[in-house]
Amino acid sequence: MDIVVVGAGSLGSLLGGLLAREHDVTLVGREPHVGTVTREGLAVRGVEQFQAHPAARTDLPSGGDLALVAVKAYDTADVAADLADCAFDACLSVQNGLGNETTLAEAVDCPVLAGTCTYGARLLDPGVVEFTGRGTVTLGDPDGGRSAVADDVAEAFRAAGVESVAVADMPTRLWEKLAVNAAVNATTALARVENGALAATPGDGLAAAAARETARVAREVGVDLPTDRALSLTEQVVRETAANRSSMLQDVEDGRRTEIDAINGAVVDRASEPVPVNETLARLLRTWERGRDRR
Ligand code: PAF
């Protein structure tokens, strides 16, 4: 398969490196990462150690079998506009937050799949990505139902040793992931702690309250997400990724804009009753972002 990974941050680089062991992969990202990957290849460290040799460039190629979108949620609209001029057979978003697939589907002329990914990664240096944890890429039609395109993509991922499953209940999976991200990302970023620090208050802390609110909003918009399920998934992710620094904590530590609008902000936007915990977390992160913009 000819796969173009749009967004060569930590997750895009890791997936690109893993998929390049079986497929023709092009990483689209920024300098100096792209130049290093082009000259020396991509070094994967951590859970598995190997040197991958995807192509790398800063602009989109004209097309391919699959565009795998791994950019930050706030860059989706720009990527969608660029993809509109390309010819891909399918597009898959593995981004955090809600609404990415809708933005992509409005622009591109091919099936758009939604994905959630629990692989853990961290960019160490240009050309070097740390593989911090194995996981699963779960993908499917963002509106639900079986998708032959999703089956093909999942099979291609598995052929490269990337654990992947095509599912028919993608809307529920997206809200489950949102509940975990709403719980973990902002709290760890504000407290500057690894995910495992949240395990001290299972079912009872700020993170659990954010997950509870998210499950309630999911049900308000017609997605069947019981509160217990949102809480147990959050506890499971905290346990399994205890040593990880969440993507939002990494953004804050590196002084980058965060995905707060697509995570806790998305919960607030879709809620028909008050969601004070998500609202407070979103406001605090936006205050941090304003401070960052002033510096
Ligand atoms: O965004 C992240 O960091 C991850 O999605 C998760 C699951 C919260 C683990 O760190």
What is the tens place of the pLDDT at every residue in 147-169? 999 999 999 999 999 999 999 99
Q: Which two tokens stand for residue 113?
A: 């799949």
Q: What pLDDT, on the 0 to 100 scale, is given for residue 263?
A: 97
**Ligand 1 atom at minimum distance from 184 CA:** 8
The verdict on whether 72 is a catalytic residue reads: no
| pLDDT tens digits for range 261-286 | 999 999 999 999 999 999 999 999 99
Q: 86 C-alpha vs ligand 1 centroid, how far in Å? A: 30
Residue 138: C-alpha distances to residues 78, 169, 248, 252, 287 (Å): 25, 10, 21, 27, 33
Per domain, the residue ranges of the chain are: 2-168, 171-291
Do residues 286 and 280 make contact, with C-beta atoms less than 8 angstroms apart?
A: no
Mean pLDDT on 99-108: 96
Q: What CA–CA distance (Å, rounded) separates 75 from 213?
A: 26
Mean pLDDT, the chain, integer: 96
Closest residue (by CA) to atom 6 of ligand 1? 246
**Cα(282)–Cα(267) distance, rounded to whole angstroms?**
10
Q: Tell me: the pLDDT tens digits for 79-103?
A: 999 999 999 999 999 999 999 999 9
With a cut of 80, say whether residue 204 has pLDDT above it. no
pLDDT of residue 62: 96
For the cut 90, the answer to whether the pLDDT of residue 203 exceeds it is no
- Exposed, middle or buried: residue 159 (CB in 10 Å: 0-12, 13-18, 19+)? middle
Does the ipTM exceed 0.90?
A: yes
Q: What superfamily would CATH give domain 171-291? A: N-(1-d-carboxylethyl)-l-norvaline Dehydrogenase; domain 2 (1.10.1040.10)
Q: Which burial class, exposed, middle or buried, applies to 123 when counting CB atoms under 10 A from its CB (0-12, 13-18, 19+)? A: buried
pLDDT at 291: 94
pTM over 0.95: no
Catalytic residue among 23, 33, 72, 177: 177
Pocket test residue of 118, 240, 246 for ligand 1, highest count of atoms within 8 A of CB: 246
Does residue 243 have a pLDDT over 90? no
The pick from 93, 184, 258 for probing ligand 1's pocket by mutation, whose C-beta has the most ligand atoms within 8 angstroms, reads: 184
Residues 6+ positions from 182 with CB-CB distance below 8 Å: 210, 211, 213, 214, 263, 264, 267, 278, 281
Q: How far is the CA of 216 from the centre of ligand 1 (A)?
A: 21
Task: Pick from 95, 241, 259 the residue to mutate for probing ligand 1's pocket: most ligand atoms within 8 Å of its CB.
Answer: 241
Please check the confidence at residue 201 and state whether its pLDDT lies above 80: no
Which residue is closest in CA terms to ligand 1's atom 1? 247
CB 71 within 8 A of CB 8: no
Does pLDDT of 202 surpass 80? no
Q: Residue by residue, what is the 3-state secondary structure of 166-180?
A: ECCCHHHHHHHHHHH
For residue range 1-52, what is the model confidence (pLDDT) as tens digits?
A: 999 999 999 999 999 999 999 999 999 999 999 999 999 999 999 999 999 9
Does domain 2-168 bear CATH number 3.40.50.300?
no
CA 246 to centroid of ligand 1, rounded, Å: 5
| pLDDT confidence of residue 295 | 81
The pLDDT of residue 240 is 87
